[in-house]
Amino acid sequence: MSVSSILFISFVILLLFNVPIGLSLGVSSVIAMIAAGLPLDMFPMQVYANIGKFALLAIPFFILAGNTMEKAGISEKLINMANKFVGHRKGGLAIVGVVTSCFFAAISGSGPATVAALGVILIPAMIKARYPAGMSSALMATAGSIGIIIPPSIAFVVYGAISGVSIGKIFIAGIIPGILMGIALIIASLIIVKKMDIEQQEKATLKEKLQAFKEAFWGLMMPVIILGGIYGGFFTPTEAAAVSAVYGILVGLFIYRTITIKDLYQLMVDSALGSAIVMFIVACAGFFAWFITTQGIAQMASNLLLTVAGNKFMFLIIINIILLIAGCFIEANSALYIFTPIMLPVALALGYDPIALGVVMTVNLAIGQVTPPVGVNLYVACGISKISLKEISKSVGPFVIASVVVLLLITYLPEIILFLPNFMKL
């Protein structure tokens, strides 16, 4: 049996036995490494090499910033602001859910974190307003997936570290696709609730709207500081992550005053645990990617993909199919490490922009966060609404279709992705 067969068969077997994805990647790589006769001391060396990158320092800082702003109560303030502006419309709470997800995505950089922070408030509120529990949960799960598309995005940081493209460029490239996905989800929601007897709220006064905006202002400033600092040339994406973490702590302590000095210890612990989970996956996935690259497996797969695809149109169809299926079983960061070394050389050979490829891959994997059986956002939403995976899976279909429409649009019109980077001459 060839080394590549041992690698992928052991990986699949471990997944079937429900072994966590990071551990599956690491163990299967070690098994294949032994089969290839490579010394085991290469494993810790490569693991350290994978996580010892300056760009990846952004991950723990963005996680800390997201946790801090959640603890500071920014999620409630964002929801209240959106509710005052659009909550009175039919389907208003659905719109509020999507809009606040877009705003919170620009703070957390994580899909599950966005669902958890907003869903705990919005899902019960939607159910109380007579929205079906399945539809409410499915909408928030899908809207939460925007968390890895709109910057700052942990997935974009990972793709940048793998591919070598500018993280600043791919951050700005994710803004329009993220907004388009939000619009698509709003349209899908309004179509679904059109014939429902949904409870509507009273229209807020101008004074109430201004007050809500004032309360949410400091939270809204975080993405402005992050992106403005990067594109203004004041700091790198990694430094921006550190600045955002400090900003979040200062806002929570001295402006909103919802965080105390005592809370900081638990915030650090929670952020360290969240960072450890992500970095463990990155370390093992990075070793897996290193192994398939050094053993020539990635090159063989790239050559096969180039031969089968033949042209850019077919290549894009194939990668979308592969990634949509992979997203059902593998979380985003792992999938990026596995598929980027295979797909990026083919994209470059066919003249497809690497920034556009990174966004297309990430949007595919964002959709994967709401597709069973491993759609992590679905499980977070189910935990909040206390419904079964089967029930939420029945309701998520229209939102997945809306997301796929956006995916196809940006895939075959990469100018949409590249408009802002080109406009800003990044």
Amino acid at 206: L
How far is Cα 320 from Cα 298, in angstroms, rounded to an integer? Answer: 18
How far is Cα 394 from Cα 381, in angstroms, rounded to an integer? Answer: 14
The overall average pLDDT reported for the chain is 89
Residue 395's pLDDT is what? 92
pLDDT over threshold 80, residue 343: yes
How far is Cα 390 from Cα 268, in angstroms, rounded to an integer? Answer: 36
Residue 152's pLDDT is what? 84
Q: Is 197 left (phi over 0), alpha (psi -120 to 50) or beta?
A: beta
81 neighbors 95 (Cβ within 8 angstroms):
no
Confidence tier at 426 by pLDDT (50, 70, 90): low
Q: What is the pLDDT of residues 172-188, one digit of tens each?
A: 999 999 999 999 999 99
Torsion sign across C-alpha atoms 21, 55, 344, 357 = positive
Report CA Rg, the chain: 21
Q: Which residues contact 171 (CB under 8 A, 6 or more apart)?
A: 151, 152, 153, 156, 227, 230, 237
112 neighbors 376 (Cβ within 8 angstroms):
yes
pLDDT over threshold 90, residue 1: no
How far is Cα 173 from Cα 419, in angstroms, rounded to an integer? Answer: 8
- Out of 194-198, 267-271, 345-349, least confident range: 194-198
Higher pLDDT: 8 or 310? It is 8
> Model pTM?
0.88
Decide if 23 is inside a domain: no
Decide if 10 is inside a domain: no
Average pLDDT over residues 246-254: 90
Decide if 398 is inside a domain: yes
pLDDT over threshold 90, residue 409: yes
Decide if 15 is inside a domain: no
How far is Cα 394 from Cα 401, in angstroms, rounded to an integer? Answer: 13
How far is Cα 189 from Cα 206, in angstroms, rounded to an integer? Answer: 26
Torsion sign across C-alpha atoms 117, 120, 123, 125 = negative
- Can you give the residue range of the structural domain that contains 413? 41-423
Decide if 319 is inside a domain: yes
Decide if 311 is inside a domain: yes
CA distance between the termini of the chain: 48
Tell me 195's DSSP state.
T
Q: What is the pLDDT of residues 277-296, one digit of tens each?
A: 888 888 888 888 888 888 88
pLDDT over threshold 70, residue 233: yes
* Burial track 103-127 (b if 16+ CB lie within 10 A, e otherwise): bbbbbbbbbbbbbbbbbbbbbebbb
How far is Cα 392 from Cα 404, in angstroms, rounded to an integer? Answer: 18
Confidence tier at 142 by pLDDT (50, 70, 90): very high
Q: What is the pLDDT of residues 60-103, one digit of tens each?
A: 888 888 888 888 888 888 888 988 998 888 888 899 999 999 88
Q: Is 405 helix (H, G, I), strand (E, B) or coil?
A: helix
Structure-derived torsion over alpha carbons of residues 374, 376, 377, 382, reported in degrees to the nearest 10: 80
Decide if 24 is inside a domain: no
Average pLDDT over residues 236-241: 86
Decide if 343 is inside a domain: yes
- The count of domains in the chain is 1
Q: Is 174 helix (H, G, I), strand (E, B) or coil?
A: coil
